[in-house]
Amino acid sequence: MNELELKYGCNPNQKPSKIFMRDGSDLPVKVLNGKPGYINFLDALNSWQLVRELKEATGLPAAASFKHVSPAGAAVGLPLSDVDRQIYFVDDPGELSPIACAYIRARGADRLCSYGDWAALSDECDADTARYLKLEVSDGIIAPGYTEEALEILSSKKKGNYNVVQIDPDYVCAEQEYKDVFGITFEQGHNFFRIDEELLANVVTENKELPDQAKIDLIVALITLKYTQSNSVCYVKDGQAIGVGAGQQSRIHCTRLAGSKADTWYLRQHPKVLGLQFIESIGRPSRDNAIDVYISDEHDDVLAEGEWQKVFAVKPDVLTAEEKKAWIATQTGVSVGSDAFFPFGDNVERARKSGVAYIAEPGGSIRDDNVIETADKYGIAMCFTGMRLFHH
């Protein structure tokens, strides 16, 4: 099949709409269930590239959770801890497959932003992944294959309308790519740049130590950034993006946004949050929203009399600003990647407040000396990759 007609483009008024191959060849994707739209396919094709490259770079199964053509989260398939299972609402007590763990961790980076996501898997979707995904609010999934049981589970989601797309894992796109904007065609070479451990060789700080896990985390950050709308910054820990700041006009706002999301991810593990007692009838999205408000400065919105009873079985104590600050201060071993250079040391100052110990950025700022000096002040190991990763 050379082309696929879509319901409409980005918005309902943008018709007609379709995806097709300029060279007349067959599309590398098949729709196994549902009817994906224009934005669905943008998410699908960007997210597939991310997880494929992440698998190639690390050797581990990889998954991503996309919203509006940027990842809300991405992760490799490392096992879940007991705390992971609790904060990601994993009800299955058994051992889960690596690809299921990858998706659960990818979605867990920012569960609010992952609401209604597009899921991407580097490996065949199995029943473990499908069972978890069926419980979440999601628009669709792309993977190189599906087990019979997984396809049956996913095809029953959303009253049978859940979007399931299969992609040819051997497909390689053309070297040149085109995009029309306002009737004018842009052309550029596809970004085939390979991100791997060799990119981390130029450590410019006094601290030269990059443990193996930090190298994996920095690779996760950089590949995630390669498919995130620029400007962008990504915080990663233990093979999982924990904060993505996308599409900001200034670098420091990227760093603050991603750092705030990383703090929120970590605060979900605070004993007071783990101890929240919800009413039985509450759904997963409502739990996520309640937790997000509870740990924010607007906590009274869910703790006021007449409000907490709608969410909690027992009224929780406030998680104070002092408690939050003290808890965030215990976060360690976080890695940060940036898709372009840090122009000032303030980015490092903000990053270290969220437990950052390792940084990868292109370098090339006229203030590189100041950025390096700031990293040295906190004993952070920072490497210059020499490669910008803008994506628009």
Token match 């058994």: residue?
94
Cβ contact 162:40 at 8 Å: no
| Predicted local distance difference test score (pLDDT) of residue 1 | 80
User: Is-catalytic flag, 231?
Assistant: yes
pLDDT in tens, 346-356: 999 999 999 99
User: Is-catalytic flag, 289?
Assistant: no
Among 55, 67, 226, 270, the active-site one is: 67
Q: Across-strand partners of 235?
A: 243, 336
Token match 């670098």: residue?
251
Which segments of 88-201 does DSSP mark as H helices, in order?
A: 98-108, 127-134, 148-155
Here the contacts of 385-389 (C-beta below 8 Å, separation 24 or greater) are: 385/199, 385/200, 385/202, 385/222, 385/360, 385/361, 386/202, 386/362, 387/193, 387/199, 387/362, 388/339, 388/340, 388/341, 388/362, 389/193, 389/222, 389/225, 389/226, 389/230, 389/339, 389/340, 389/362
pLDDT in tens, 373-391: 999 999 999 999 999 999 9
Here the contacts of 135-139 (C-beta below 8 Å, separation 24 or greater) are: 135/89, 135/91, 135/284, 136/107, 136/284, 137/284, 137/285, 138/162, 139/40, 139/43, 139/163
Q: What is the mean pLDDT of the chain?
A: 96
Among 40, 46, 163, 231, the active-site one is: 231
DSSP state string for 254-273: HHHHHHHHHHHHHHTTSHHH
pLDDT in tens, 169-207: 999 999 999 999 999 999 999 999 999 999 999 999 999
Among 68, 134, 158, 299, the active-site one is: 68
**What's the sign of the alpha-carbon dihedral 168, 174, 180, 183?**
negative
Question: Distance between CA 169 and CA 269 in Å, rounded?
Answer: 37
| Predicted local distance difference test score (pLDDT) of residue 92 | 82
**What's the sign of the alpha-carbon dihedral 303, 306, 311, 312?**
positive
User: Is-catalytic flag, 67?
Assistant: yes
Rounded to 5°, angle at Cα 132 from 131 and 134: 65
User: Is-catalytic flag, 253?
Assistant: no
Question: Distance between CA 318 and CA 323 in Å, rounded?
Answer: 10
For residue 47, what pLDDT band results from cuts at 50, 70 and 90?
very high
Find, among 224, 320, 313, 324, the residue nearest to 276 by Cα.
Answer: 313
pLDDT in tens, 95-153: 999 999 999 999 999 999 999 999 999 999 999 999 999 999 999 999 999 999 999 99
| Predicted local distance difference test score (pLDDT) of residue 86 | 95
For residue 111, the tally of other CB atoms under 10 A from its CB is: 26
pLDDT in tens, 279-334: 999 999 999 999 999 999 999 999 999 999 999 999 999 999 999 999 999 999 99
Find, among 59, 60, 58, the residue nearest to 78 by Cα.
Answer: 60
For residue 2, what pLDDT band results from cuts at 50, 70 and 90?
confident
For residue 182, the tally of other CB atoms under 10 A from its CB is: 4
pLDDT in tens, 59-74: 999 999 999 999 999 9
